[in-house]
């Protein structure tokens, strides 16, 4: 049994709390490693190290800091297969999907190589007689991030790359379900030239999260995970005076208009609904065909595609469509919600409840499910299922479909499939959701744009990556400077307008 570590002050450090979490192999259902759960003291030790290391890192010029990230990109590419294998083994996602997880993080690292450009301040020459005003972006100091299980490479990189490019130290508290890749990333950053103590990994659960939220030296907290925890972290972190951004859960609707290319829409829905076993915050979990005829045509196209899906372990090759879900508890919760859908009157068109994979009977595999005639009051509509379950809600008009998505408490992503530019444009303008796809089912913005939902999918104002990340991880200081000959002629005691 492998015992995982923390990564503190440039070294693997064994857990000292005596508490551990099981790290499963979701494909076999076996415990493959133990992750240490840090105590408050262990977290405090990482903060001490970070606080001591950060000023020297902040004093390194931005271009040199960016060169560390450049080298890191090379190492990520060098170790891509090794990282993806470790990721699939703990998470369960397919090997190509694991590479995608790393790649989408890597792209944010590439974006952060532009730190010297992003960190340039503003300058006003001669704002008044002999007076110049300039602003600079300075790092916050010690920053921290708490990340979910479903993107164990991408989301840590979305946080630590901009934080470190800006001159901060960063403490990562990854998900206790799949902590190996975060530990490997910290090692690679040091191999790329990052000084010790600037990126540390503290494994843990609520105890270490609370220690982060309460520690007076930690200036900012980034969180990605479920909405109840996002809300908790946001309120406790803000109450402690920190800068906090929290990204929560989702229920993403895809509107299918009668004029949509139905084959294209069905292909998109199958990938977006069942890819990664539905464990993506940008997965489509609700299909909203407009009109009964559209609904019938869509379901007819969906069923054979869903029945053909190949479910299996990542070791079974690249033609596996999706793998197991992350834990036995996640599987149980998904099947419980499926049952509630049946009990509450939805029509289960594709029933995956009896799915079992020969040779992997103890793995956490869940068959694909498709519901039709789902209504707004059902639990499968209201809750995030985070599994391979797609619900169809029939709308009778475009306006009804639009209000359905608008009335849902989550607002992460959405999509519309149509051939009509005017409808698409109206949808993009009016919808109260952060990321919108037009004939694109999973509209995750690229690194140089920003990522973030609206409503209960977000707490805080700045988005992840893109220009917002450089704002989140820096403070603005504005200097008004006068180098006059005048002061020596006598002091000034009143507040002056610039004239």
Active site residues per annotation: 281
CB of 405 to ligand NAD, least distance (A): 16
In this structure, what are the phi and psi dihedrals at residue 213, rounded to the nearest 5 degrees? -65, -30
Enumerate residues 255-294 that contact ligand NAD by CB under 6 A. Answer: 281
In this structure, what are the phi and psi dihedrals at residue 453, rounded to the nearest 5 degrees? -95, -170
- Given candidates 49, 87, 192, 224, which one binds ligand NAD under the rule CB under 6 A? 224
Enumerate residues 431-460 that contact ligand NAD by CB under 6 A. Answer: 453, 457
Which residue number, 289 or 437, has a Cβ lying nearer to ligand NAD? 437
Site membership for ligand NAD, residue 170 (CB under 6 A): no
Which residue number, 143 or 294, has a Cβ lying nearer to ligand NAD? 143
- Given candidates 37, 68, 166, 250, which one binds ligand NAD under the rule CB under 6 A? 250
Measure the CA–CA gap between 163 and 142, rounded to whole angstroms. Answer: 9
Helices and strands of the chain, counted as H and E runs: 16, 23
Measure the CA–CA gap between 247 and 410, rounded to whole angstroms. Answer: 11
Enumerate residues 129-148 that contact ligand NAD by CB under 6 A. Answer: 146-148
Q: How far is residue 179 from each of residues 7, 156, 429, 474, measured CA to CA in Å?
A: 11, 11, 40, 27
Eight-state DSSP code of residue 290 = B
Look at residue 397 and give its three-state secondary structure. coil
Measure the CA–CA gap between 218 and 57, rounded to whole angstroms. Answer: 16
The site that binds ligand NAD (CB under 6 A) totals a number of residues, namely 26
Which residue number, 191 or 231, has a Cβ lying nearer to ligand NAD? 231
Measure the CA–CA gap between 219 and 242, rounded to whole angstroms. Answer: 5
- Given candidates 120, 206, 310, 376, which one binds ligand NAD under the rule CB under 6 A? 206
Handedness of CA 117, 121, 126, 130 (dihedral sign): negative
Which residue number, 79 or 384, has a Cβ lying nearer to ligand NAD? 384
Stretch that binds ligand NAD, among 97-105, 205-213, 423-431, 435-443 (CB under 6 A): 205-213
Q: What is the dihedral of CA 372, 294, 415, 429, to 10 degrees?
A: -130
- Given candidates 25, 143, 150, 220, which one binds ligand NAD under the rule CB under 6 A? 150
Site membership for ligand NAD, residue 209 (CB under 6 A): yes
Contact predicate 47/138, CB 8 Å: no
Stretch that binds ligand NAD, among 183-191, 248-256, 290-298, 398-406 (CB under 6 A): 248-256
From the list 340, 93, 379, 429, the residue with the least C-alpha distance to 251 is 379
CB of 478 to ligand NAD, least distance (A): 32
Site membership for ligand NAD, residue 149 (CB under 6 A): yes
CB of 235 to ligand NAD, least distance (A): 12
Measure the CA–CA gap between 465 and 435, rounded to whole angstroms. Answer: 14
Q: Which residues would be at the binding site for ligand NAD (CB under 6 A)?
A: 146-151, 173, 175-176, 205-206, 209, 224-226, 229, 247-250, 281, 384, 386, 412, 453, 457
């Amino acid at each position: 049994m492998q015992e995982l570590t923390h990564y503190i002050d440039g070294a693997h450090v064994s857990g000292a709390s005596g508490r551990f979490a099981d790290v499963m192999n979701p494909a076999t259902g076996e415990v493959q490693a133990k992750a240490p759960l840090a105590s408050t003291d262990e977290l405090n030790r990482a903060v001490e190290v970070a606080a001591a290391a950060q000023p020297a890192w902040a004093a390194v010029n931005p271009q040199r800091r960016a060169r560390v990230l450049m080298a890191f990109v090379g190492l990520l590419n060098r170790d891509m297969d090794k990282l993806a294998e470790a990721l699939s083994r703990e998470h369960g996602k397919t090997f190509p999907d694991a590479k995608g997880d790393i790649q989408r993080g890597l792209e944010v690292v590439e974006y952060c190589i532009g730190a010297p450009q992003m960190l340039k301040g503003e300058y006003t020459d001669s704002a008044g007689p002999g007076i110049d005003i300039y602003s600079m972006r300075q790092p916050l100091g010690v920053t921290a991030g708490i990340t979910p299980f479903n993107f164990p490479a991408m989301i840590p990189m979305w946080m630590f790359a901009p934080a470190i490019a800006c001159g901060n130290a960063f403490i990562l508290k990854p998900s206790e379900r799949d902590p190996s890749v975060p530990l490997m990333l910290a090692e690679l950053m040091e191999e790329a030239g990052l000084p010790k103590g600037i990126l540390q990994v503290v494994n843990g659960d609520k105890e270490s999260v609370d220690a982060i939220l309460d520690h007076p030296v930690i200036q900012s907290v980034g969180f990605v995970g479920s909405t109840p925890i996002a809300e908790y972290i946001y309120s406790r972190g803000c109450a402690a005076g920190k800068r906090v951004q929290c990204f929560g859960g989702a229920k993403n609707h895809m509107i299918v208009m009668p004029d949509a290319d139905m084959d294209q829409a069905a292909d998109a829905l199958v990938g977006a609904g069942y890819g990664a076993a539905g464990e993506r915050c940008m997965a489509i979990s609700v299909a909203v065909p407009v009109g009964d005829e559209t609904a019938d045509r869509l379901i007819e196209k969906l069923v054979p595609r869903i029945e053909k899906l190949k479910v299996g372990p990542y070791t079974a090759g690249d033609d596996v469509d999706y793998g197991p879900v992350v834990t036995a508890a996640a599987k149980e919760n998904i099947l419980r919600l499926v049952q509630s859908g049946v009990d509450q009157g939805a029509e289960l068109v594709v029933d995956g409840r009896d799915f079992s994979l020969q040779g992997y009977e103890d793995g956490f595999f869940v068959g694909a499910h498709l519901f039709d005639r789902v209504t707004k009051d059902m639990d499968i509509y209201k809750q995030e299922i985070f599994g391979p379950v797609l619900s169809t809600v029939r709308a009778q008009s475009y306006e009804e479909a639009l209000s359905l998505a608008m009335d849902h408490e989550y607002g992460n992503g959405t999509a519309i499939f149509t051939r009509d530019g005017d409808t698409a444009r109206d949808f993009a303008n009016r919808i109260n959701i952060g990321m919108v796809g037009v004939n694109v089912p999973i509209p995750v913005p690229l690194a140089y744009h920003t990522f973030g939902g609206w409503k209960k999918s977000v707490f805080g104002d700045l988005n992840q990556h893109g220009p917002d990340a450089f704002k989140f991880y820096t403070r603005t200081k504005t200097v008004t400077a006068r180098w006059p000959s005048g002061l020596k002629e006598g002091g000034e005691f009143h507040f002056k307008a610039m004239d």
